Copies of this chain bind each other. A is one copy, B any other.
């Protein structure tokens, strides 16, 4: 049986490949694919940002090796940062 943690990890891999396989390198997100992923999967997060350049900024922050594409390792960093922020919010709201 798959554990809840394994299920979450599998979810991250599946989501990434759902979008990365659309065009070009099947294992990397280009800018259009990243935008599509953010709009499809993190629309609330995107809506909360009033910055029209948010996708460009995320792309440039994540793309550590500057190849204009986001690989899985770079994507996991984004997910980790957002999840830690969500957890901090959750923990704070539990205290109050």
Binding site for B on A (CB under 8 A): 3-16, 27, 37, 40-44, 72-73, 76-77, 79-80, 82-84, 86-88, 90-91
Contacts and interface: CB of A to CB of B under 8 A. Distances in A.
Contact of A8 (B11, B73, B84, B90): B11
A73 B91 CA distance: 13
Contacts of A4: 11, 14-15, 41
Contacts of A76: 80, 83-84
A8 to B, nearest CB: 3
A71 B91 CA distance: 12
Contacts of A15: 4-5, 8
Interface centre among A6, A44, A88 (most CB of B within 10 A): A6
B13 A86 contact: yes
Given A79-B5, A91-B27, A11 B13 contact: no
Nearest to A77: B80
